[in-house]
Every structure is written in structure tokens, then in C-alpha cells.
């Protein structure tokens, strides 16, 4: 394992962010969401989470061994409030996706993970676990984590094994206890990590803080999306989508996912 355990300093410079993704497997971009936009997006997420609880539809972390009631997942936030379209198709995310994965690419999923007081860790993993080994030498996906709350070591910030992307393989059982570093970032930041970085949710050791992150996952267009947009997307999102959005949703396509030999839209 690489002995350098540093993670990159936050940057708003896209050239630096791309260099950080190459060198560290991740980049931290502060102040992307701020003020009213951040507040409204955060409120929309907590409202969706509460509604799921009230209707008995709440989901827990699928990567946990135990049923962890301190953790809540909100799936397919894209269909829950238009504010999440602004995250999934944010120009910053799309710029990074184009630079790292090429174009066309797909939005595979966008879901939230809220960890509450006493929340447990999830299993150490890399997001491209579905890629058969040996892995290609370039990342097959990119995760953009929108910090709707501040991410701190205490409240369960995502933790990573620094430089693990360079190993170009998924973690094995014997890697589970490797030292990890908390990726701390202010609310409104985007933490971007490429798909080979080993990471997990941290323990939430606070008495009274929740930590909400919205994770937008993108992949090269040869992989199936995690969320089945054709079944689960609210119709008006497609109806009013830009060309870029249609590509990311797999509706405007060539070669894969065609309809009678041609792009469906
Ligand atoms: O909640 C987190 O910090 C990490 C979530 C995660 O790793 C995932 O959704 O794959």
C-alpha cells in the first residue's frame, strides 16, 4: 500500500481537480452549493427522508451486514424534487465526467445516504465492483458526492484508503482493516472520487448530528445503469430534458439501448 496518506486540499480550479483525481483518486471542490440553494436542497432531502419514514418506505444501507437504523438511504432522489436535477446534471459534474470517462457517459444512480448519531461504518468497497478483473487501467465510473451537511470525522464523513485507486483492484477481506482517512469538507462541497478508490461511510460518533450526502454515480456508457431510469424516472424530467441530460439518462444513444435500431429520442 502507498505510504502517503494525504488527501488533496480543496480546490475550485478544475485543472487542479483533475490533477487531484489522477494523483489521489479524488478531489474536493468547495462552495459549489451555497446560501438558499444549499438550504433548499438540504430541506428537500430531509423532507423526502421523513416522508419515506412516515410511509414505512425507508431504506437502509445495503452494504451493511447489520440492519442499521441510524442510517437512511433515499433512492432515486432525481424523481423526488427538481432540485436534484440541478445536482445530477450540474455543469461541474458533467465537465468532470467528460474529462475522466469520456462522452457519451451515463448517470448510473443518484441516491442519498444520511448517517445519524451512532451510525455504523459500511463495508470498504470500490464503486466499480461489477467490473470483472483484471480491471482496465482507467476508471470506469465517477462518484460526485454533494455534501448537504458538513462532512467531519466525528459525524461520519466518507473515509478512503488514500491512493487505493493505484492498486487497480477491489479490496479483499484482508484489506478491511486498513487505515482510512476521513474526507472532511464544508456543506456545499462536491467530493469527487473515481470508481477504484476504496471507501466507506465513517462512524457517526456525534450525539445529535446527521450527515447527508447525495451520491451521483456516472459510468462509461457500456455499463448498465444501477437505477432503471426507463421505469423509475418521473416522466416530466425526460420531457423537459436537454440533449446532455438525455445522453446521461441513456435516452439519446447510439449502438447500445437503441429502439428498432435508432436512438429512442
Ligand atoms: O455514505 C458515505 O459516506 C459513502 C457511501 C458510499 O460509499 C456509497 O454509496 O457507495
pLDDT (tens digit, 9 = 90+) per residue, 96-116?
A: 999 999 999 999 999 999 999
Look-up: residue for cell 436535477?
85
**Which CATH number is 102's domain given?**
2.60.120.620
63: pLDDT strictly greater than 80: no
Provide the percentage of residues in the chain whose pLDDT is more than 70. Answer: 96
Q: Evaluate whether residue 185 is within a structural domain.
A: yes
Q: Evaluate whether residue 122 is within a structural domain.
A: yes
Q: Evaluate whether residue 115 is within a structural domain.
A: yes
Q: Evaluate whether residue 256 is within a structural domain.
A: no
For residue 151 and ligand 1, the question of a CB distance below 6 A is answered with no
Q: Evaluate whether residue 77 is within a structural domain.
A: yes
Q: How many domains is the chain partitioned into structurally?
A: 1
Distance 260 CA to ligand 1 centre (A): 38
1: pLDDT strictly greater than 70: no
Dist. CA 169–CA 196, nearest whole Å:
7
Helices (H), 89-228: 91-101
Phi, psi angles (nearest 5°) of residue 256 = -120, 145
48: pLDDT strictly greater than 60: yes
For residue 84 and ligand 1, the question of a CB distance below 6 A is answered with no
User: Of 123, 200, 217, which is best to mutate to test ligand 1, by the most ligand atoms within 8 angstroms of its C-beta?
Assistant: 200
Q: Evaluate whether residue 257 is within a structural domain.
A: no
66: pLDDT strictly greater than 60: no
Here the cell at position 196 is: 477504484
Which range among 5-14, 48-57, 116-125 shows the weakest confidence by mean pLDDT?
116-125
Q: Which domain holds residue 145?
A: 20-220+232-248
Q: Evaluate whether residue 253 is within a structural domain.
A: no
Q: Evaluate whether residue 243 is within a structural domain.
A: yes
Amino acid at each position: 500500500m502507498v505510504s502517503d496518506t494525504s488527501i488533496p486540499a480543496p480546490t475550485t480550479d478544475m485543472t487542479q481537480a483533475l490533477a487531484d483525481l489522477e494523483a489521489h483518486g479524488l478531489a474536493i471542490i468547495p462552495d459549489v452549493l451555497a446560501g438558499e440553494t444549499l438550504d433548499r436542497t438540504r430541506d428537500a432531502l430531509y423532507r423526502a427522508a421523513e416522508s419515506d419514514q412516515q410511509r414505512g418506505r425507508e431504506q437502509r444501507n445495503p452494504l451493511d451486514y447489520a440492519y442499521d437504523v441510524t442510517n437512511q438511504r433515499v433512492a432515486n432522489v432525481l424523481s423526488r424534487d427538481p432540485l436534484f436535477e440541478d445536482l445530477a446534471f450540474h455543469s461541474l459534474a458533467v465537465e468532470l465526467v467528460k474529462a475522466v470517462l469520456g462522452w457519451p457517459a451515463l448517470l448510473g444512480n443518484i441516491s442519498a445516504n444520511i448517517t445519524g448519531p451512532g451510525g455504523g461504518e459500511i463495508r470498504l468497497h470500490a464503486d466499480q465492483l461489477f467490473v470483472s478483473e483484471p480491471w482496465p487501467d482507467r476508471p470506469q465510473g465517477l462518484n460526485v458526492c454533494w455534501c448537504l451537511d458538513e462532512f467531519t470525522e466525528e459525524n461520519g464523513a466518507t473515509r478512503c484508503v488514500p491512493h487505493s485507486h493505484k492498486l487497480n483492484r477491489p479490496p479483499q477481506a484482508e484489506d478491511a482493516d486498513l487505515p482510512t482517512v476521513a474526507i472532511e469538507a464544508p456543506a456545499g462541497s462536491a467530493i469527487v472520487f473515481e470508481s477504484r478508490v476504496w471507501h466507506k461511510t465513517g462512524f457517526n460518533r456525534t450525539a445529535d448530528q446527521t450527515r447527508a450526502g447525495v451520491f451521483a454515480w456516472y459510468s462509461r456508457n457500456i455499463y448498465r445503469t444501477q437505477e432503471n431510469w426507463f421505469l423509475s424516472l418521473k416522466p416530466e424530467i425526460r420531457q423537459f430534458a436537454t440533449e446532455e441530460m438525455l445522453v446521461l439518462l441513456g435516452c439519446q444513444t447510439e449502438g447500445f439501448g437503441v429502439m428498432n435500431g435508432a436512438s429512442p429520442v
